[in-house]
Amino acid sequence: MESLQIPHQPPMAMRQVPVDASQPASRVQPHHHRNRANHQQTASPIRQFKPSILTRLHAGYFRISLSLASQALLLKMLTQPAAGNSSSNPPPLGHFLRSDGPFRSISLLFFWLLALVAQVLLSALYALRCCFHFQLVRAEFFHHVGVNYLFAPWISWLVLLLSSPTAISEIKAPYLALWWAFAIPVVLLDVKIYGQWFTTEKRFLSMVANPTSLISVIGNLVGSRAASRVGWKESAVCLFSLGMAHYLVLFVTLYQRLSGGDRLPAMLRPVFFLFFAAPSMASLAWNSISGTFDTGSKMLFFLSLFLFASLACRPALFKKSMRKFNVAWWAYSFPLTFLALASAEYAQEVKGTMASVLMLVLSALSFLVFLGLMLLTVLNTHRILREDDPILRFDKDRSRN
């Protein structure tokens, strides 16, 4: 019986790949070389530019000016009576600082001007980034964390508008014009981002949700409070309903960890403070709409207190993010200030000893955290604009989207 003979084939490594003679030799590349070339073409756009302030700056740096403006608003609320109620509703710290004293006016003006200078400087730098490095701004928009900080500039401007001195805020026409200028971008971002959550397959909320998504909610609530200050109740209710509806959706999604994994780097864990910043601002917004710190405002305030206590009891959660100073630390400041603002409104309504003590404790804690961050920022100026910021790592998330 004849044995079957299998024709001998050379090993895979020794086989000759047919080459098209019509193509030049430079165009014939192995498969792994072509993959490497494709990877280089889809690499992060930040590598195409020489590192500079404009390439390293992103919208997350507006947390600094937002914290400054929030402190100015807190000082204004603590030392100034409510509008139209100066006799029956004195300022919370009226026993310590006279409402018509020079110290109040000077301190208010100092904090407000400091916040205004920081906001104008950051806005100018970011405008230059949009002009000269629009590709980076576009990549920031497609980043699951960076896109949420696009609300921060407009929130800062709205808080500055709320904290402006009385002589400026009483001029109604410029106030309304500025409110429209700062509120319209928030609504446009709402339409874009909220619409993607239930219409775009690759941008489902369960895939991109992270604590920074709560910044969009805060933007709507701050806009609502600013609108109610000038009597625009319908606009205030509209923004409040948008913010609260999506806050409930986000809260459930993040509380149950439906995102399917950790979508947030350890360096950015200070943004967990946004969990209680949103209900704190919601209580302030509803107080402005209803005209009193009623049951709804109190429920939101107590929820924010519970969330703050839950985070304060877990310092190990922030251990990795506290190893080296980073601009993300500024996410500790303005949420605490919003909570202190809500406690001041609560103390003004309840007029009890415990409410006043709670207001003083939270206000002092907010100011101490703010002062500490100011000192750390001055001492670590070389660490402010860092290349290893997680928001600047666009390549992985951009290719995924």
CATH number where 258 lies: 1.50.10.150
Residue 21 above 80 pLDDT? no
In angstroms, rounded to a whole number, what is the distance separating the alpha carbons of residues 215 and 60? 11
Tens of pLDDT, residue by residue over 178-190, are: 999 999 999 999 9
pLDDT greater than 50 at residue 46? no
**pLDDT tens digits for range 56-100:** 888 889 999 999 999 999 999 888 765 544 445 555 655 444 445
Does residue 362 fall inside a structural domain? Answer: yes
- 4 in any annotated domain: no
pLDDT grade for 151, boundaries at 50, 70 and 90 = very high
CA–CA separation, 161 and 172 (whole Å): 12
- What distance separates the 2 farthest-apart alpha carbons in the chain? 117
> Residue 401 gets which letter from DSSP?
-
Q: Reply yes or no on whether the pLDDT at 255 is more than 60.
A: yes
- Measured CA distances, 138 to 131, 276, 324 (Å): 12, 30, 29
Q: Residues 41, 42, 43, 48: is their CA dihedral positive or negative?
A: positive
Per-residue model confidence (pLDDT) at position 91:
59
User: Which ranges constitute the DSSP H helices of 83-133?
Assistant: 102-132
Report if residue 22 sits inside a domain: no
**pLDDT bucket at 361, cuts 50 / 70 / 90:** very high
Against a cut of 0.85, is the pTM above it?
no
Can you give the pLDDT at residue 82? 56
The residue among 181 and 111 whose pLDDT is bigger is 181
Range of the domain at 100: 51-400
- Looking at every residue in the chain, the average pLDDT score rounds to 80
Query: Is 20 inside any structural domain?
Result: no
Q: What distances in angstroms separate CA 165 from CA 75, 77, 83, 168, one per listed residue?
A: 11, 11, 13, 5
Contacts of 3 (CB under 8 A, 6+ apart): none
Contacts with 357 (C-beta within 8 Å, 6 or more apart), sequence order: none
- What does the alpha-carbon distance between residue 204 and residue 201 come to, in Å, rounded to a whole number? 6
DSSP designation for 59:
G
Looking at the predicted structure, is the pLDDT value of residue 37 above 50? no
Nearest C-alpha neighbor of 116 from the set 80, 175, 162 = 162
Q: Cα separation of 105 and 234, whole Å?
A: 32
Q: Is residue 8 part of a domain?
A: no
Distance CA 299, CA 108 (A): 30
Q: What is the pLDDT of residue 169?
A: 74
What φ, ψ does residue 387 adopt, rounded to 5°? -80, -20
Nearest CA to 331 out of 258, 269, 401 is that of 269
One-letter amino acid for residue 183 of the chain:
A
Does a structural domain hold residue 312? yes
**How far apart (Å, rounded) are the C-alpha atoms in residues 119 and 130?**
16
CA atoms 375, 380, 385, 387: torsion sign = negative
Q: Compute how many other C-beta atoms are within 10 angstroms of the C-beta atom of residue 286.
A: 26
For the purposes of burial, counting CB atoms within 10 Å of the CB of 188, is it exposed (0-12), middle (13-18) or buried (19 or more)? exposed
Per-residue pLDDT tens digits for 178-236: 999 999 999 999 998 888 877 766 667 777 888 999 999 999 999 999 999 888 899 99
Asked if the structure places residue 42 within a domain, the reply is no
Q: Is 71 part of any domain?
A: yes
What are the angstrom distances between the C-alpha of 25 and each of 28, 40, 41, 108? 5, 21, 22, 72
End-to-end CA distance of the chain: 63
Euclidean distance between CA atoms 105 and 139, whole angstroms: 43
Query: Domains in the chain: how many in total?
Result: 1
